[in-house]
Amino acid sequence: MSEDLGAAVGDRICVDRAGNVIHRAPWAHVMSHWANVYRPLKDRFPKDRYHFGKGLVSFVEEQNRIIANFEDGSIATGDLLVGADGLRSTVRSQLFPECEPKYGGYVAWRGLVEEQLISPQARAKLANNYWFVLPPGEMALCYQVPRLGLPGRKDWNWVWYDPTTEAELADLCTDAMGRNHGIGIPPPLIRPEITERIKAKAREMLPDHIAQVFTTGQPFFQSIFDVEAPKMALGRVCLLGDAAYVARPHVGMGVTKGALDAVCLARSLEMEDSIEKALGRYDELRSVFGRRAVARARYLGAYIEAASYPERPWRPEQLDQSPQRLLREVATSLSDIDELASLPV
């Protein structure tokens, strides 16, 4: 990938609390921004076919046609419905109401920090590397990303995977007025003492040049879930991307998985002489990929989940937190994951 699309990132480096290098892995990345993918694709799509603010409520299949009902009262009909509506998919919930996201036992605290807000000394030490710190049962990492709309400018993206039980998650999602927001909460409503707690933890457990990244600005968190749909297609309705399978972020496969799903769906529709046959091919090929991606991501995050649920029967390889393994296996290229790269599209 050209650096025109993102920010060049150097080696992966794991350090201890004092900043001593534990393990270093040469790894040339170009980290892009979602808008750099989304906007060029959207610009190529006819504007009159792209409708904003159209929340799907329900759908029915009648005489080989799909009728979709939307929140604004409008109705659309077509030969095929593609549900690409993410973790909380309305399409999946109607196709498979028993298929619910399964909580993974931890959250990912996140933040995006403008480079100039970090001290010159810390910026010099960070350079453009991809940094890891591995407190027992946890993972903290940070790396540069391009700043949206400003070529040549960089931000620092950081993530901290923090073991969190269901009861602790409920507390995180409760605002200062006592209202619980379910599995997530808008960042401005996170209680100040919780924000300060994660920043204090960063100052305590991370070396100074990395702690600066983690303690600047307003953090937010993402609850970690797995989703595995029983099928990717039923009738004239199919699921795509995270609507079908949600793999934990460690596998780094969200955008890739969704793009390959789309390619396979288009190819299947071109190859087969009916929508039903095309969706059969699509389901057969992409369900294997989705299940394997979820399993790999679950394996990579098992040692963090185990910190919340130590009573479960964990295998030694699941608890392996060695930087040699994690820096090699986390968010690696698709071509380096044998069980995924070998699958046809």
Looking at residue 28, its pLDDT comes to 78
Q: Which domain holds residue 328?
A: 83-95+229-341
- Tens of pLDDT, residue by residue over 185-244, are 999 999 999 999 999 999 999 999 999 999 999 999 999 999 999 999 999 999 999 999
Instruction: Write down the pLDDT at residue 150.
Output: 66
Give the pLDDT confidence score for residue 63 in this predicted structure.
Answer: 86
- Computed over every residue of the chain, the mean pLDDT equals 94
Q: Does residue 46 fall inside a structural domain?
A: no
Q: Are 17 and 158 found together in one domain?
A: yes
Within-domain flag for 162? yes
The domain boundary residue, chosen from 169, 197, 224:
224
**Nearest-5° Cα angle at 343, 239 to 241:** 20
239 with 203, same domain? no
Return d(Cα 45, Cα 283) in angstroms, integer. Answer: 26
**Same structural domain, 247 and 302:** yes
Same-domain pairing of 29 and 141: yes
- C-alpha 221/C-alpha 169 separation (Å) is 10
CATH assignment of the domain containing 302: 3.50.50.60
Is residue 178 situated within a structural domain? yes
The total domain count for the chain is 2
- What pLDDT sits at residue 313? 96
Q: What is the pLDDT of residue 298?
A: 97
Q: What is the pLDDT of residue 36?
A: 78
283, part of any domain:
yes
Domain at 150, CATH number? 3.30.9.60
Together in a domain, 154 and 263: no
What percentage of residues in the chain have a pLDDT greater than 90?
82
Same domain? 192 vs 140: yes
Residues 251 and 220 placed together within one structural domain of the fold? no
> Nearest 5°: phi and psi at 265?
-65, -45
Q: Is residue 150 part of a domain?
A: yes
70 lies in a domain?
A: no
Is residue 286 located within the same domain as residue 211? no
Taking only the tens place, the pLDDT of each residue in 261-288 is: 999 999 999 999 999 999 999 999 999 9
| Sign of the dihedral defined by the CA atoms of residues 281, 286, 288, 289, in that order | positive
Coil vs helix vs strand at 80: coil
| pLDDT tens digits for range 129-164 | 999 999 999 999 999 998 876 677 889 999 999 999
d(CA 148, CA 96): 37
Domain stops at, among 192, 224, 256: 224
Whether 282 and 217 map to the same domain: the answer is no
Q: Are residues 264 and 197 in the same domain?
A: no
What residue has token string 């009738």?
A: 235
- Contact by Cβ (8 Å): 261, 105: no
Q: Structure pTM? A: 0.92
Positive or negative, the CA dihedral 104, 291, 281, 230 is negative
Residue 26 in domain? yes
Helix (H) / strand (E) element for 123: namely helix 120-126
The dihedral built from the CA positions of residue 39, 43, 48 and 49, taken in this order, carries a sign that is negative
249: helix, coil or strand? helix
Residues 204 and 220 in one domain: yes
Domain boundary pick from 172, 194, 224: 224
Q: Are residues 214 and 266 in the same domain?
A: no
2-40 pLDDT, tens per residue?
Answer: 555 678 889 999 999 999 999 999 987 788 777 778 888
